[in-house]
Every structure is written in structure tokens, then in C-alpha cells.
């Protein structure tokens, strides 16, 4: 099963992808998490990606596409995967489609998590992220058991550099200009499902599970 999570920054793609990955026992592949891990480890890739991420811009396609295609070619992706944050524009979607069709394969579901801008700004302000394992928390909605520490792996939680209010505005604009057209793209392919992301995260999860069957 190959699933794409669509939705604005802060819509809850990562939160849902993580829960789905556990239920269906397939990897959660987030390009944002891969970049953040590289930034933490001080790699060249991380340094390059950071210059774009801190401005709320997309990392160039050639870099992102290579990383994504390498990741999904790994053995653990043979049964399927959940893509979170990729594709993020039409050119990336076309590259993915071509790569899959060479393998006689395709995307099965594109889940679009819909949340209005007002909710998003509130969610991002309170978000805390674990760079080590990709888990996501919220200081009010989803607090960790111990403040500042990841429940799953015990590492310190961070406030993402791109969650500053001035960067969030840019990310929302980039989403509208470049990523939103993917909703029509996947609708035309007959795989799009819209989900109300303003509901409680468990309710959102159950709605998605009902779609996936």
C-alpha cells in the first residue's frame, strides 16, 4: 500500500502518518524529517536544505527527489510506505509517478488533511518535535509525559526553526502556490480522499483507516 499525505504545513500529516505507519507496519517517509536529521548531524545536505527551510521555501527538486527515490528503494519499503511532505509540487509528483510506473506500480491513496489557516497557526506555535525519531507533540493538545522529552525515544524535543510566525506565513503561501495543485492532480487520478483535519487526532485517524480499509 502506497499512501501520500497531503495538507498544509501543520495540518497533521506527520501525526497521522506516524499512527498509520504503526498500524499498517510500513515506513513513514517524511522528506522534512530526513532534512531535519541531516541538519542535526551537520551534513552537507542538511546545511544546504537549511538555507531554504529557514525561509519557508522548498528545497530544490533535484536534491529532494534523489533523496526520496533512494529512500523508497530500500528493502523496508517493499510492502509499501506513507509519504509525508512529498510530493510537494507537480514536477515532484511527475517524477514519482514515472519512477513507480517503471516498476509497474502506482500510488494507491492520496489523503488530503484539510485544516483552515487559523487552526494551523495555533498548532505550529505549540508544536514540539523529536528529530531523533520523528515523533510530534503539542504543548496543549498532545503533551509528552515528561516536558521536553520524547515519550518514544527519550531524546530532547525541539521547537522547529521554521515554526516562527514569520516563516509560517511563507510556508502557507508556498503551500498554496505549489502544493495545493496536487489536490487536483490526484483527484484526476481517482485516488484523492479529503479528510476533516480539525477533528480530534484519533477521530481523524479512524476516518483515514476507514478509507484505507
1 binds, among Mg ion, ligand AP5, none (CB under 5 to 8 A by kind): none
For the question of residue 123 being annotated catalytic, the response is no
Of 2, 13, 36, 71, which one is the catalytic site residue?
13
For the question of residue 71 being annotated catalytic, the response is no
For the question of residue 164 being annotated catalytic, the response is no
Nearest residue (CB) to ligand AP5, 9 versus 26: 9
Of 36, 71, 127, 128, which one is the catalytic site residue?
127
Q: Is 142 in the site for ligand AP5 (CB under 6 A)?
A: yes
Nearest residue (CB) to Mg ion, 14 versus 197: 14
Q: Is 197 in the site for Mg ion (CB under 5 A)?
A: no
Nearest residue (CB) to ligand AP5, 104 versus 153: 153
Q: Is 134 in the site for ligand AP5 (CB under 6 A)?
A: no
SS3 for the chain is: CEEEEEECCCCCHHHHHHHHHHHHCCCEEEHHHHHHHHHHCCCHHHHHHHHHHCCCCCCCHHHHHHHHHHHHCCHHHCCCEEEECCCCCHHHHHHHHHHHHHCCCCCCEEEEEECCHHHHHHHHHCEEECCCCCCEEECCCECCCCCCECCCCCCECECCHHHCHHHHHHHHHHHHHHHCHHHHHHHHCCCEEEEECCCCHHHHHHHHHHHHC
Nearest residue (CB) to ligand AP5, 162 versus 192: 162
C-alpha cell of residue 188: 484526476
Q: Note the residues at the interface with ligand AP5 (CB under 6 A).
A: 7, 9-15, 30-32, 35, 52-53, 56-59, 64, 85-86, 88, 92, 123, 126-127, 136-138, 141-142, 162, 171, 197, 200-201, 204
Which residues would be at the binding site for Mg ion (CB under 5 A)? Answer: 14
Catalytic residues: 13, 88, 127, 160, 171
Amino acid at each position: 500500500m502506497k499512501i501520500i499525505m497531503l495538507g498544509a504545513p501543520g495540518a497533521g500529516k506527520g501525526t497521522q502518518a506516524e499512527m498509520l505507519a504503526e498500524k499498517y507496519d510500513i515506513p513513514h517517509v517524511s522528506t522534512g524529517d530526513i532534512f531535519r536529521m541531516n541538519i542535526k548531524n551537520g551534513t552537507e545536505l542538511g546545511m544546504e536544505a537549511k538555507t531554504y527551510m529557514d525561509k519557508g521555501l522548498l528545497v530544490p527538486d533535484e536534491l529532494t527527489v534523489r533523496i526520496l527515490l533512494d529512500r523508497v528503494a530500500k528493502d523496508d519499503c517493499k510492502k509499501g510506505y506513507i509519504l509525508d511532505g512529498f510530493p510537494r509540487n507537480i514536477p515532484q509528483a511527475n517524477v514519482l509517478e514515472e519512477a513507480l510506473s517503471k516498476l509497474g506500480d502506482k500510488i494507491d491513496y492520496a489523503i488530503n488533511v484539510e485544516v483552515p489557516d487559523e487552526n494551523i497557526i495555533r498548532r505550529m506555535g505549540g508544536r514540539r518535535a523529536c528529530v531523533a525519531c520523528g515523533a510530534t507533540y503539542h504543548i496543549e493538545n498532545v503533551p509528552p509525559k515528561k516536558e521536553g522529552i520524547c515519550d518514544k525515544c527519550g531524546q530532547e524535543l525541539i521547537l522547529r526553526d521554521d515554526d516562527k510566525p514569520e516563516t509560517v506565513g511563507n510556508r502557507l503561501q508556498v503551500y498554496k502556490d505549489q502544493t495545493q495543485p496536487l489536490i487536483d492532480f490526484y483527484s484526476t487520478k481517482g485516488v484523492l480522499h479529503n479528510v476533516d483535519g480539525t477533528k480530534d487526532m484519533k477521530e481523524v485517524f479512524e476516518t483515514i483507516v476507514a478509507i484505507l480499509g
